[in-house]
Structure 1
Amino acid sequence: MTDPLANVQRLVDDWERDAQEKAARYESMRQEVGRISITRSAAGGAVSVTVGSNGIPGAVTMTEAVSRLRPEQIAAAVMEAMRQAQAAYPAELARIVGETVGETASGRHIVATAERNFPQVEPDGPPAAPPRRGDGDDFSDDSYLG
């Protein structure tokens, strides 16, 4: 005959051990995510953007080659490099989550949130020039407030 108190104690010990192991895995995940640094370049390497552990740009660098670009091309290159770096963030986060906490509901939620916030970049042609007056957009001086 088994001792009910011993069974309860074993259950509590198992729960405590599992909780400690889970906490260690999540701490490992937190540390790994804190080291994320993803850099992507655009305009032939003239512009680079680095995103950090939260997917937010932390650095923008430019080479001397930007002197040959028009301001709108520089701005478009910054945006392109940023979108590419951010689009790589969910995959890196998914790799870390998979290696640390595994297939869990919270891990799936973390990755799904990153995928929603930083979607994949759609392959398209060169960045479009900003619209100019007469291109079909109303850039009149009239206020929309009336």
Structure 2
Amino acid sequence: MTDPLSNVQRLVDDWERNAQEKAARYESMRQEVERISLTRSAAGGAVSVTVGPNGIPSDVSMTEAVSRLRPEQIAAAVMEAMRQAQAAYPAELARIVGETVGDTESGRHIVATAEQHFPQVEPDTPPPAPPRRRREGDDGDFSDDSYLG
């Protein structure tokens, strides 16, 4: 017959060991996340943006090729490169979470939060056309036919 006190002690010891192992896995995750550095480029490589932990930009660099771009093109390239780098952040975070803490509720929450803040970038979608000014009597259907028949 086993001693109830030794069973309780074994349960406490197991719980403590599991808690220490879990804490070590989360510490490892934290250290890996702090090392994240993702760089993406735009405008044919003329502009590069690096994001670090939490997807925050940590560096912007430009090559001589920016001298051929207009200021608004440079600004758009910086934003494009930044969005691309940030869009890669959730996947890198998911890799780290998977390798350190595994498929846990808190790990899924961490990745889902990153995905909300840094959604995937739609490939080469042109900006919407500005609204067309309507002339008097223009119903906006681009034809001269009446919808009344």
| Fold shared per TM-score above 0.5 | yes
Quote how far apart the aligned CAs of 1:2 are.
Answer: 1.1
Partner in structure 1 of residue 45 of structure 2:
45
> Partner of 1:39: helix, strand, or coil?
strand
Partner in structure 2 of residue 9 of structure 1:
9
Preserved contact between residue 41 and residue 47 of structure 1 (Cα < 8 Å)? yes
Partner in structure 2 of residue 105 of structure 1:
105
1:55-103 CA distances to partner (integer Å, 9 max, x unpaired)? 0111111111001000110011001000000000000000000000001
**Counterpart amino acid of 1:109?**
H
**Counterpart amino acid of 2:88?**
A
Partner in structure 2 of residue 30 of structure 1:
30
Q: Which runs of 5+ in 2 are unaligned?
A: 134-149
Partner in structure 2 of residue 66 of structure 1:
66
Quote how far apart the aligned CAs of 1:13 are.
Answer: 0.1
Larger Rg: 2
The share of aligned pairs that are identical, in percent, is 87
Give, in whole Å, the separation in 1 of the partners of 2:63 and 2:37: 20
**Counterpart amino acid of 1:41?**
S
Give, in whole Å, the separation in 2 of the partners of 1:125 and 1:103: 34
Superposition pairs for residues 62-141 of structure 1, below 5 Å? 62-125=62-125
Quote how far apart the aligned CAs of 1:126 are.
Answer: 5.1
Q: Which runs of 5+ in 1 are unaligned?
A: 137-146
Quote how far apart the aligned CAs of 1:124 are.
Answer: 2.5
Preserved contact between residue 76 and residue 127 of structure 1 (Cα < 8 Å)? no
**Alpha-carbon distance change, 84 to 122 in structure 1, aligned in 2, over 3 angstroms:** same
Give, in whole Å, the separation in 2 of the partners of 1:124 and 1:19: 47
**Counterpart amino acid of 1:47?**
V
> Partner of 2:15: helix, strand, or coil?
helix
Partner in structure 1 of residue 140 of structure 2:
none
TM-score scaled to structure 2, two decimals? Answer: 0.84
Aligned residues: 133
TM-score scaled to structure 1, two decimals? Answer: 0.86
Give, in whole Å, the separation in 1 of the partners of 2:108 and 2:32: 17
RMSD (CA atoms)? 1.7
Question: Once superposed, which parts of structure 1, at least 4 consecutive aligned residues long, lie more than 2 Å away?
Answer: 124-129
1:27-51 CA distances to partner (integer Å, 9 max, x unpaired)? 0000000000000000000000000
